Amino acid sequence: MPDISEVRQWTRTALSRLHEDDALDVLLIVTELVSNVYDHGRFPARLCLHERTEPRAVRIEVEDASSKPPVLQPTSAGAQRGRGLIIVDQLAQGWGVAQHTVGKTVWALISCVSTPAYEARL
């Protein structure tokens, strides 16, 4: 099973056409969602990235074998853990959970406002 740094490197390579600002948002959300699988989910697990061109966005999907949904909970200022879904909620255009017969998929949609359309980059 890859560690978080390997997942982040794979994500950066897969989305190399994104502007750095957009890529950082995607990487942060990928890190949070994948970390939740390591901390609370069950393997096997899978990460899927879907780029959309109009409007420019990336949909992140993290699937695992646990049926327990993530819970957005308030956290205290001094807490060292428990901020992951708060970060996802603040950065993502939207996020949610799709329950399956076995397991779930947690998804987040990131608007990529800093990345120009492909045609403008030619």
pLDDT at 53: 82
Domain ranges of the chain: 4-121
Q: What is the pLDDT of residues 28-57, one digit of tens each?
A: 999 999 999 998 889 999 999 999 887 889
pLDDT at 77: 65
Q: Which of the residues in the chain have pLDDT under 50?
A: 119-122
Angle between helices 4-14 and 20-40 (to 10 degrees): 150
The reply to whether CATH 3.40.50.10300 applies to domain 4-121 is: no
pTM for the full model? 0.86
